[in-house]
Amino acid sequence: MSARLGKTVWLKMEALQPCGSFKLRGVGHACLTHAERGARHFVSSSGGNAGVAVAYCGRMLHIPVTVVVPETTSARALELLRLEGAEVIVHGQSWAEANTLAQSMLDAHTAFIHPFDDPLLWHGHASLVDEVAEAGIKPDAVVLSVGGGGLLCGVAEGMHRQGWDDVPIIAAETHGMASYARSLEADAVVALPAVTGIATSLGAKQPSSEAVAWSRRLPISSVEVSDREAVTAALQLLTDHRVLVEPACGAALAAVEKNSEELAAAKDILIVVCGGVVATLAQLQDWERTLA
C-alpha cells in the first residue's frame, strides 16, 4: 500500500486479533475487570464484532455469555456467536428491543458489556497506540473508523498519554452512518434519524459524548466515504495484503485511498485496520457488483 500510494502507510492489524477485530482489546479489559469484581455471567446485545468479542472473552475466562440480538441479525453473525460458545437469544424487531431484554437480565453477578460507551473499553483500546509508540513510530496522521466512537476514545486516550496531542486524527465514516461527522459540525452529540448502508459496524445512531468531547482536546477531522469506496478499499487490502475486513474497516482504508484533503499533507500515516468478521468475501464481491 505504501508503494502504491507513495507515502509511508502503517497498518495496525487489528483484523488479526483472535476474534477478528480491535474489540478484543476493550472488551477483554472490561470482561477481566468485571471478572475480578466477581461477575459470573456476561451479557451483550451486539450482533456484531462486540458480541463476538464478549463471547470469545467468556470462553477464555470460563464465564458464560448471553448475547441478545434482534431478528434482523444475519445468519453469519449468529453462527459466529454460537461458534464462540455464547447462548444466543433472538428477540425483537430492532436492536432497542433486544437491548431492553438484555438489560433486564442484569443482577449483582451479571455484567453488561457495552459495545462502545464505557471507560473500561476505551482503556483497553488505548493499548494499541502504546504498541505503535513502543515500536518507535510516531505517524503524522492517524486514520480510524468511527461508529459509536469507542475506538476513537481509546485511540485518543492512548495518543494523549503518549504526548501525540499534535497528531491529527481522521475519523472515517460512510455517508449513511455519519453521526460523528454531523456531531463535529454541531460541536454536540447529534443523533441521526436513521442509519443506512452496508457498514453495519458503524451503525450507532449517535456517538458517545466522550467521542465528541475529545474533538475539543485533540485535532480531529471527519472524512466521509461511499459504501462503494469502502468495499473497494476492503477488496484492495485483500489484494495488497491478503487480509479480509468489513466495509466498516474499509471506510478508514478508503479515506487514505482517495487521498482526502485532510490527508494530503501527511507523509507518514497510521491506519487502524479495525477488522471485522461479519462480512465474507462472497458478500464483498456481491456488494462491489451491485453498488453503483
Ligand X SMILES: *Cc1c(COP(=O)(O)O)cnc(C)c1O
Min dist CB 211 to ligand X, Å, is 7
Is 99 an interacting residue with respect to ligand X (CB under 6 A)? no
Task: Examine residue 249 and tell whether it contacts ligand X (CB under 6 A).
Answer: yes
State the Cα–Cα distance between residues 174 and 196, nearest whole angstrom: 9
Task: Please pick, from the candidates 28, 148, 176, 250, the single residue that binds ligand X as defined by CB under 6 A.
Answer: 148
For the bound state, the minimum distance from the C-beta of residue 101 to ligand X, rounded and expressed in Å, comes to: 21
| Binding residue for ligand X, selected from 181, 225, 275, 287, defined by CB under 6 A | 275
User: Is 113 near ligand X (CB under 6 A)?
Assistant: no
Site for ligand X in 187-246 (CB under 6 A): 201-202, 204, 246
Question: What part of residues 62-91 is at the interface with ligand X (CB under 6 A)?
Answer: none
126-134, 259-267, 270-278, 281-289 -> range binding ligand X (CB under 6 A) = 270-278
User: Least Å distance between CB 164 and ligand X?
Assistant: 19
Please pick, from the candidates 47, 58, 147, 168, the single residue that binds ligand X as defined by CB under 6 A.
147
Q: How far is the CB of 49 from ligand X (least distance, A)?
A: 3
Residue written as grid cell 495488497: 240
Question: Taking CB under 6 A as the rule, does residue 54 contact ligand X?
Answer: no
State which residue, 56 or 116, has the beta carbon closest to ligand X: 116
Selected binder of ligand X within 102, 146, 184, 223 (CB under 6 A): 146
SS3 of the chain: the string is CHHHHCCEEEEEEHHHCCCCECHHHHHHHHHHHHHHCCCCEEEECCCCHHHHHHHHHHHHHCCCEEEEECCCCCHHHHHHHHHCCCEEEECCCCHHHHHHHHHHCCCCCEEECCCCCCHHHHHHHHHHHHHHHHCCCCCCEEEEECCCCHHHHHHHHHHHHCCCCCCCEEEEEEHHHCHHHHHHHHCCCCCCCCCCCCCHHHCCCCCCHHHHHHCCCCCEEEEEECHHHHHHHHHHHHHHHCCCCCHHHHHHHHHHHCCCHHHCCCCEEEEEECECCCCCHHHHHHHHHHCC
User: Does residue 49 belong to the site contacting ligand X (CB under 6 A)?
Assistant: yes
Closer to ligand X by Cβ: residue 167 or 244: 244
- The binding site for ligand X (CB under 6 A) comprises 21, 23, 49-50, 116, 145-152, 201-202, 204, 246, 248-249, 274-276
